[in-house]
Amino acid sequence: MHTLFILADNQDITRTGLHAYLSRLYPMCPTRDITCKKELLNILMQPYSRMIVILDYPLFDLKDVEELIVIVKRFPSVQWILFSSDLSENVIRRVGAEPDISILLKECPDKEICKALQAAAEGKRYLCNPVNNLLQENHKHSGIHTPLTPSETEILKLIAKGKSVKEIAALRFSSVHTIMTHKKNIFRKLGVNNVYEATRYALRAGLVEMMEYYI
């Protein structure tokens, strides 16, 4: 079954433009236009093998960005692109810490819009250049203190980049048991329960560059 592209945007001109991009890049893939949260939830519960949601958050009937993140986590197999021209810095920072959501501004050039759509089709995250630059700058000045040792910090970076315990052990010339012990200590010190939460911490603390994470 083909990937279903869901266009969750209340602006006719935006949906028309997205249809043009998708017909050029993925002419065989179906699309659905929706204009409210109820329609979005109904379609997300349908048995499509793959779905990509392109959502203009400020123009949609979501209470706040936290409600969006709850929906994203409820449907982890869905790819999400936040596509808007009116995102506050706070929203960008909050969504930027969520590794499952791509961010694309409507003023981005044609090339970047195509890259974002192609990344989503390949199951990858994409951050457009203005958003990535903003998040990089925030990381540089975040001032978050980490309780980790230098070794634990390096291991956390590798975890956030998607490396397995076995791969980290090979890279650091250590045993799997040693890396497992480090991983347990990292989770305990950060107060996190899984790799997802540890990765969010690494992104917020600037331990991992955004470009390193999503490529």
From first to last of its 215 residues, what are the pLDDT tens digits of the chain?
A: 479 999 999 889 999 999 999 999 999 999 999 999 999 999 999 988 899 999 998 878 888 888 998 999 899 999 999 998 878 877 888 888 888 899 999 889 999 999 999 999 999 999 998 888 887 776 555 555 567 777 788 898 899 888 899 999 998 888 899 899 999 989 988 888 898 888 888 877 766 655 444 43
Distance CA 124, CA 56 (A): 19
**Residue given tokens 């990937």 in the structure block:** 3
**Degrees (nearest 5) of the Cα angle 138, 125, 162?**
85
Q: Which element (helix H / strand E) includes 42?
A: helix 37-44
CB 207, CB 129: distance < 8 Å:
no
Print burial letters for 136-167: b (CB count within 10 Å at least 16), e (below 16). Answer: eebbeeeeeebebeeebebbbbbbbbebebee
Nearest to 62 by CA among 7, 100, 135, 9: 9
The owner of tokens 């970047």 is 112
Question: In angstroms, what CA-CA distances link 91 with 20, 57, 69, 170?
Answer: 28, 10, 11, 38
pTM: 0.66
**Domains in the chain and their CATH numbers?**
4-140 (3.40.50.2300), 150-214 (1.10.10.10)
Q: Of the candidates 28, 81, 29, 72, which has an alpha carbon nearest to the alpha carbon of residue 52?
A: 81
